[in-house]
Amino acid sequence: MSLSICIVNWNTRDLLRACLRSIESYAPPVPVQVIVVDNASSDGSAEMVRDEFPRMMLIANQENKSYAAGNNQAIAAATGDYILLLNPDTEVHPNSLENALRFMESHPEAGAIGALQKFPDGRIQPSVRAFPYPALLFFEITGLAKLFPRHKTLAGYRMSWFQYDRLLPVDQPMGTFLMTRRAVIEQVGGMDEQFPLFFNDVDWCYRVKQAGWIIYFVPEVVILHHGGAGTSQMRPAAIKESHRSLEIFYRKQFKKRLPQPLFSFVIGLIRISLRLRLRGHP
């Protein structure tokens, strides 16, 4: 059993350093390969990895090839039986990587797992969502989800009712931490690069579940997540890109599965949501 950890970085040098140190401190007792893809950072991230972590593999891009493409670069270089996609603004807790590997070994039906994520102050970070099916998007955009945050249908997209102390199958854990197995990558492929920043993990999880695998949320796997270190550098562009990617996701996965009037209605909802967000509405 071996593990490849794939990290795509853009201008988060200090957080990346803390992430890599946590991996070194809490590495599982198996061969571990760490691959850092740096997307042309201007803060010295690549030089830091080269100088301070010489045993880790560094792929230093001369241009920002996007998060999805960077992950695909790392996946192509990965040699492990298990592959972990990990954000650079995270730190793994003691035993987390070992617990994750143990879970994957004992659950052969698991195509991927997500972790319990905590803010630096110890609060649990919401990190599980359902797929954005039409009804769930409608409840979200119209505000019904916020009015009834404990309702399992009306608040079904963000799953604000989810209990983070339980092992459960889920649709899409946050891509901050996604561990999968080589067999899954070989079956469904890597990230779709038409989603450069957002919804690449959603699309990937959707393909994994369509292929018959189960995705689990595993509370015994714990990480610290600072959150938004990369995307916070590019708002409101990130809001536009997120909605654009959601629309692409719908065109890819649902256009042929939904009646045309319903499909057009959902696309209209997405565009209304974008206008509301850009005007400052939550």
| 85 and 184 share one domain | yes
Residue where one domain finishes, among candidates 140, 160, 180: 160
| 105 and 178 share one domain | yes
Helical H runs in the chain? 13-25, 45-52, 67-77, 96-106, 134-141, 144-147, 182-188, 200-210, 237-253, 260-278
* pLDDT reading at 229 higher than 80: no
Confidence (pTM) = 0.94
Contact 36, 49 (CB under 8 A): yes
Hey, how many other C-beta atoms are within 10 angstroms of the C-beta on 97?
Answer: 27
Of the chain, the percentage scoring pLDDT greater than 70 comes to 96
Tens-place pLDDT, residues 165-194:
999 999 999 999 999 999 999 999 999 999
The whole-number average pLDDT for the span 112-127 is: 97
| 38 and 111 share one domain | yes
Nearest of 67, 17, 72, 62 to residue 41 by alpha carbon: 62
| 33 and 99 share one domain | yes
Tens-place pLDDT, residues 41-88:
999 999 999 999 999 999 999 999 999 999 999 999 999 999 999 999
| 137 and 46 share one domain | no
Structure tokens at 54: 């010489």
* pLDDT reading at 232 higher than 70: no
Contact 9, 45 (CB under 8 A): yes
Which domain covers residue 66, as residue numbers? 3-127+164-233
> If pLDDT is split at 50, 70 and 90, which confidence band does 277 have?
confident
| 110 and 181 share one domain | yes
Rounded alpha-carbon distances, angstroms, from residue 128 to 19, 124, 214, 218, 271: 22, 11, 14, 11, 24
The whole-number average pLDDT for the span 110-134 is: 97
* pLDDT reading at 281 higher than 60: no
